[in-house]
Chain A
């Protein structure tokens, strides 16, 4: 009853006010109340801080899968935030399934390099350096000065770097990463209840969606193992229209 009343009150609040109110709930230890508030804010506003705090709230109520989803959304918007990265790693350590090996140092360095700028930043910066490169090319065609070539090289490489960053994010989004949000799921060999159970995965396990058929999705976990699970047993990290 009280919760319903609070819900009614909260609907009338602006997103910023509701966010502040949820922060207070979190601080007071009422994580479920905080989750409701943050979810409501997230419907209207796409903000890394909201997702981060929502992830924290889910983690506090031991919903590791939901926490990972929200941390990943926050990281997508704010990839250079240290708190987000730390808590994402922390939540991942709490998963039941420990799939895949820790990548080597070179791969990790590459990954962090190409996740340093967000998708939006990368797209803007790619364009900016592309325009700069074009101007420099034009000027070189007309004036034929060597320093212009150096500038062109720098700007073309920058543009290329940001383009790669952009594509890394884009391919990540295209993979439709999803996370298991229920305690335990048995993956089947086909899209239907009658198929054989071939895999058991737990809350927080991350995978890619390869195919959708009715109520079932074909998932692929790192390591190449795949199976069919029901749609509502997992949630996609990136919004349908991100």
Chain B
């Protein structure tokens, strides 16, 4: 296309006579470019009268694809010393699209002109992932100027799938993109694609259109990705990815200069459906440990603690990591372990699309309840998956794990994390046999009441005793009266001894003392200082009977007579007298 314009330009300036020096430079509009973006390489030729200069030869560009060319020309006329010199410049612009990431070099551009070869310097460009910046205004100038709506090539929605033939569970990445060479004012999604028979994980959903320059079928388009999904086939056979339809308002350039805004026209476009052929997984040689994984995985098991006290649960974590259909993987079967109860696991997973594969992990966290003391062994947990690279099944195994449990019986109740309360599984077992079955007492015994009465009586007694003792200390009459009997008996005994020894005088004396002493102790009198008459008066006052008083006084007289003048002693046996005294005193 540029060649044509070039010729026209050359015709406009036909007067190129002599060969002269020219300069050749090559420049890029940016040195860093995103994969999928474009870059403009401009080769400029400057010199006098160079209208017939051929187009430069581009070097081999293995890292780039040339997706567009254009050229432009400028002329400046100078008058020096009355001579006109024409300075001309021709710019050849190449739009390049990088093919791969990393450093890419654009080799020397060569130009042969009038038997001389000119060469430019090599230019280094860094190709990076993603978008660097908006293309410079200069490159946007190269968008097709005129809308050709009739051509479907200028506006389309393209669905692409990275794989057309997959195994069950193998991911397919589908991308829906809008390709446009037109100026659009509005884009609406009329119909979203359907993915029947697939498990869908949405990766990207466009909220606003973000255009990038991309070449397609040899043409340069402004491309915006509308939707990107990772699909996992759920069944085998031919599955269809539905179509997406859009309505786009396209701005038409008006030929009328004053119609500034132009007119729009609405165009409907739709994508082609894609058929994915899903192969079933081979049934032969399928291991029993297969849990639905397709891809490539590694397995690891760990325990969060190595010792459990009081039936505390230990968490066993089985972690599968790798690329593949992570959401499809079911929990691995755990063999029954004696002395240990394993509850249902808590499952965590994370899967993201990296490149065109789904990568991530899946974790199964099993609470393990030890039920007996001692060391418990968790055997190797085996899981099988279908390896897509080798197209065979592979079995993975974890390491054996050990932990010790102690005091498991101390905890009768266990409260798992879910909040369920387990009250033991059953009632406790019956009591053992007995050789002798005895009735147990349950009612309080009736005789206890006597114990209480006795106790209270004891307190009463102690109170009485205490009172008596206090009186002995403070009340002389009480004390004398209490000991009167004792004293009398002692004195009578003394008299008896005297009688046995035939000491008659001493006998009568002690008999008299016993009688008087008893009276004194009994009534708290000073008897020795009393006359017979006083004694009589006092005894009368104490309401002693008259005859008893007479008897006492008579006896005392007899004792006195026997003591002091035994010659006057009337015939009376001492023994008789003794018994008489005893009788009288007991009568008091």
Q: Which of B432, B435, B448, B466 contacts A141 (CB 8 A)?
A: B466
Q: Is the CB of A119 within 8 A of B433?
A: no
Q: Is A158's beta carbon under 8 Å from chain B?
A: no
Cα-based distance from A88 to B443 in the complex (angstroms): 22
Q: Is the CB of B438 within 8 A of A47?
A: yes
Q: Is the CB of A48 within 8 A of B440?
A: yes
Name B437-494 residues within 8 Å CB distance of A.
Answer: 437-445, 448, 451-452, 454-456, 458-459, 461-463, 465-466
Q: Is B77's beta carbon under 8 Å from chain A?
A: no
Q: Is the CB of B427 within 8 A of A59?
A: yes
Q: Is A138's beta carbon under 8 Å from chain B?
A: yes
- For chain B, the count of residues having a C-beta within 8 Å of the partner chain is 36
19 example contacts (A-B, Cβ-Cβ < 8 A) are as follows A23-B432, A26-B430, A27-B430, A45-B437, A47-B439, A52-B430, A52-B431, A56-B429, A59-B427, A77-B440, A77-B442, A86-B427, A87-B428, A90-B423, A90-B427, A119-B442, A123-B444, A127-B451, A241-B443
- For chain A, the count of residues having a C-beta within 8 Å of the partner chain is 49
Q: Is B434's beta carbon under 8 Å from chain A?
A: yes
Q: How far is the CB of B438 from chain A (nearest CB, A)?
A: 7
Task: List residues of chain B with CB within 8 A of the CB of A27.
Answer: 430
Q: Is B436's beta carbon under 8 Å from chain A?
A: yes
Q: Is the CB of A138 within 8 A of B462?
A: yes
Name A20-78 residues within 8 Å CB distance of B.
Answer: 20, 23, 26-27, 41, 45-50, 52-53, 56-57, 59, 76-78
**Given A16-B436, A45-B438, A137-B462: 13 more A-B contacts, CB < 8 Å:** A19-B437, A23-B433, A46-B440, A48-B440, A78-B440, A83-B431, A86-B427, A87-B427, A120-B443, A127-B451, A131-B454, A166-B444, A242-B442
Cα-based distance from A137 to B463 in the complex (angstroms): 10
Q: Given A86-B428, A142-B465, answer yes or no on A120-B459 (Cβ-Cβ < 8 Å).
A: no
Q: Is A135's beta carbon under 8 Å from chain B?
A: yes
Q: Is the CB of B434 within 8 A of A16?
A: yes
Q: Is B424's beta carbon under 8 Å from chain A?
A: yes
| B421 closest partner in A (C-beta) | A93
| A49 closest partner in B (C-beta) | B431
Q: Given A50-B437, A119-B442, answer yes or no on A131-B451 (Cβ-Cβ < 8 Å).
A: yes
Q: Is A118's beta carbon under 8 Å from chain B?
A: yes
Task: List residues of chain A with CB within 8 A of the CB of B444.
Answer: 119-120, 123-124, 166
The contact string, 1 if C-beta is below 8 Å from chain B, for chain A 120-143, is: 100110010011011101110110
Task: List residues of chain B with CB within 8 A of the CB of A53.
Answer: 430-431
Q: Which of B429, B432, B458 contacts A135 (CB 8 A)?
A: B458
The contact string, 1 if C-beta is below 8 Å from chain B, for chain A 134-168, is: 11011101100000000000000000000000100
